[in-house]
Amino acid sequence: MYQSRISGLGKYLPENVVTNKDLSKIMDTSDEWIQERTGIRERRHIRKGSEDTTASMGAAAARIAIERAGIQTEEIELILFATLSPDYYFPGSGVLVQELLEIPTCPAMDIRNQCSGFIYALSTADQFIKTGMYKNILVIGSENHSGGLDMTTRGRGVSVIFGDGAGAAVITREENPERGVLSSHLHSEGKFAEELSLIGPSTNRWVPEILEANDPSDESYFPFMNGQLVFKNAVVRFSEVIMEGLQANKLSPEAIDMLIPHQANLRISQFVQKKFGLQDHQVYNNIQHYGNTTAGSIPIALTEAWEEGQVKEGDLLVLAAFGSGFTWGSAIIRW
């Protein structure tokens, strides 16, 4: 069996910065409320009329990751694309990236696991590398939230949190068994499926039915979040799945050099930091600048941490996520 490691990282954020103050001009909210509850100061939103899409942002991040991995795009043997905001209902955005990167043909798979999407995709890539089937896999997490949020006071509990952006990683075969992805751990609990969801339009509510109802008060077009329930489950599951990963590798929390949590809420990250007794420099947070970019959040944060020199060879990295599904997961990586 082979080992897999991250050989290249890239990110792409739309240039349009939307501050809390900007939001307070279009809905009843405030910089104070948003910062106090979430830590977010600003996020990026694709500018109306811009050519950025979920797939194009993913492809832009991927080009950087591929170049940093020192390979040619043709050497990518599989694309795993994690998103909850694909360009189209179908086909998935992975095939669009394959076309944008001008890879002649290759398998492309979309992963529908929301905030945990990048961890699920990384774990899937790891299995394909372990069995020897592929040597270079492109894993992308990308989201275009801004076009689908309710930007009125009605939607403020959700819309102030989410931002747009993409991150990408090239996952490569590694011969050294002590380096790379040491293990990954995935979970779901579908009884909470509707607690953080976007129900319509869907096969539960096909478009003709929605058009016929023509009801502007219908909120099912927008994401719904039971914030407090999500928060309570997140702090428990984050902690559990990090501990599960450490125990699987016979490691204690003291071994962690860097924890990169999914950027759901700065308060959740701080809770987890305290739980594991980590110092500020051992937990990477950038939600202050980008909001919650769901599947994009871990690869964006990991790329930024690496660009800043905060991830060094030999470091023990822990990635962890929790979100809609509910789904959650972790990956333990020796860099």
Considering beta carbons, is residue 41 or 68 the nearer one to ligand UT7? 41
Token couple for 201: 């339009």
> Which position among 20, 113, 115, 144 bears the catalytic label?
115
Within 259-288, the residues that bind ligand UT7 by CB under 6 A are 264-265, 268
CA 55 to chain CA mean position, Å: 14
Considering beta carbons, is residue 149 or 248 the nearer one to ligand UT7? 149
Tell the smallest beta-carbon distance from residue 234 to ligand UT7 (Å).
5
Tell the smallest beta-carbon distance from residue 126 to ligand UT7 (Å).
23
Give CA–CA dist 295/199, Å, rounded. Answer: 19
Give start and end residues of each alpha helix (H) in the chain: 20-24, 31-38, 54-69, 93-100, 117-130, 156-159, 207-213, 227-248, 266-275, 287-290, 297-307
Tell the smallest beta-carbon distance from residue 119 to ligand UT7 (Å).
12
Query: Taking the CB of residue 332, how many other CB atoms lie within 10 A of it?
Result: 23
Give CA–CA dist 12/163, Å, rounded. Answer: 12
Mask of contacts with ligand UT7, 228-247, x by CB under 6 A? x-xx--x-------------
Tell the smallest beta-carbon distance from residue 130 to ligand UT7 (Å).
29
Within 22-51, the residues that bind ligand UT7 by CB under 6 A are 29, 33-34, 37-38
Sign of the dihedral defined by the CA atoms of residues 239, 244, 246, 250, in that order: positive
- Asked if 291 is part of the footprint of ligand UT7 (rule: CB under 6 A), the reply reads no
- Asked if 83 is part of the footprint of ligand UT7 (rule: CB under 6 A), the reply reads no
Note if 185 is an active site residue.
no
Structure letter (DSSP) for residue 87: S
Among 76, 97, 103, 115, binds ligand UT7 (CB under 6 A): 115
Residues counted in the chain: 335
- Asked if 217 is part of the footprint of ligand UT7 (rule: CB under 6 A), the reply reads no
- Asked if 185 is part of the footprint of ligand UT7 (rule: CB under 6 A), the reply reads no
Strands 165-174 and 3-12: antiparallel
- Asked if 295 is part of the footprint of ligand UT7 (rule: CB under 6 A), the reply reads no
Residues 202-218: b if buried by 16+ CB within 10 A, e if exposed:
eeeeeeeebeeeeeeee
Q: Cα 78–284–19 angle (5° rounding)?
A: 95
Considering beta carbons, is residue 38 or 136 the nearer one to ligand UT7? 38
CA atoms within 13 A on the CB side of 243: 11
What distance, in Å, lies between the first and last C-alpha atoms of the chain?
A: 19
- Asked if 327 is part of the footprint of ligand UT7 (rule: CB under 6 A), the reply reads no
Considering beta carbons, is residue 56 or 159 the nearer one to ligand UT7? 159
Among 156, 185, 289, 334, binds ligand UT7 (CB under 6 A): 156
Q: Is it true that the peptide bond before 91 is cis, omega within 30 degrees of 0? A: yes
Note if 115 is an active site residue.
yes
Give CA–CA dist 235/36, Å, rounded. Answer: 17
**Strand pairing partners for 327?**
188, 323
Give CA–CA dist 181/333, Å, rounded. Answer: 4
> Which position among 45, 145, 262, 289 bears the catalytic label?
262
Tell the smallest beta-carbon distance from residue 156 to ligand UT7 (Å).
4
Considering beta carbons, is residue 285 or 292 the nearer one to ligand UT7? 292
Summarize as ranges the residues that interact with ligand UT7 (CB under 6 A).
29, 33-34, 37-38, 115, 156-157, 160-161, 196, 227-228, 230-231, 234, 264-265, 268, 292, 323
Could you list the active site residues?
115, 262, 292
